[in-house]
Amino acid sequence: MKLKSAYFPTLGILIAVFSLVGTSGAAPTATPATPDEIQQQIGKSTAPLTLVHVWATWCDPCREEFPELVQVINTFPSVKFILISADNPAEKKSVEEFLEKYKSPVGSLISTELSQKFIESLSPNWNGTLPSTFIFKGGKCVSEWEGKRTLEEYTELIEKLNPTNKE
């Protein structure tokens, strides 16, 4: 049902309704970011672990893995998750629709620069394969892998790197 403005004669009532409903059910967003901005996001994380996952809507293994990745995000609320889409920034709407389809509890950055600089900003060992995951602890990359993983593999590694994260 689409709300019509006639149902809310004043802005005050509209604000009150939004206050009661809240925004926790808001759809996840996709935000274009440069490699430097991505590094700033990783560097400012105060979480015990920061998991950075690079993916794309056109990548078959990424799409196959994504439902389990959402389970991982929901299982470990004390871990900071930074998703980075390798889609073209012009495809922002498609990225947001993908995130919403899989009920991602976090949004995604969209890299504005898929270059050697972007690759090396995450790891000099990374060859650009998608999906790829990097785990940072105290701003330092402590684990990385290329290719999709299962919920069990993610869980095992997160618990090994930081046993206090077990929820």
Q: How many helices (H) and strands (E) does the chain have?
A: 6, 6
Q: How far apart are CA 78 and CA 164, in angstroms?
A: 9
Token digits of residue 11: 């802005």
Q: How confident is the model at residue 156 (pLDDT cuts 50, 70, 90)?
A: very high
In a domain, 92, yes or no: yes
**pLDDT confidence tier of residue 163, bands split at 50, 70 and 90:** confident
d(CA 97, CA 57): 10
pLDDT at 84: 98
CATH number at residue 92: 3.40.30.10
Amino acid in the structure at residue 164: T
Q: What is the dihedral of CA 137, 141, 145, 150, to 10 degrees?
A: 10
Residue-wise pLDDT for 55-104, tens only, equals 999 999 999 999 999 999 999 999 999 999 999 999 999 999 999 999 99
In a domain, 14, yes or no: no
Residue 133 placed within a domain: yes
Query: Is 6 a member of any domain?
Result: no
Structural domain harbouring 78: 28-165
Q: Is residue 15 part of a domain?
A: no
- Could you tell me if residue 95 is inside a domain? yes
Contact 143, 137 (CB under 8 A): no
Contacts of 19 (CB under 8 A, 6+ apart): none
160: in domain: yes
Give 114's pLDDT tier (boundaries 50, 70, 90): confident
Q: Is the Cβ–Cβ distance between 129 and 146 less than 8 Å?
A: yes
**Count of domains for the chain:** 1
**Is residue 64 in some structural domain?**
yes
Tokens of 146: 């290329």
For 21: left if phi > 0, alpha if psi spans -120 to 50, otherwise beta; the answer is alpha
Q: How much of the chain, in percent, has pLDDT values that exceed 90? A: 75
Prediction pTM value: 0.82
Report in angstroms the alpha-carbon separations of 51 from 8, 16, 94: 43, 37, 23
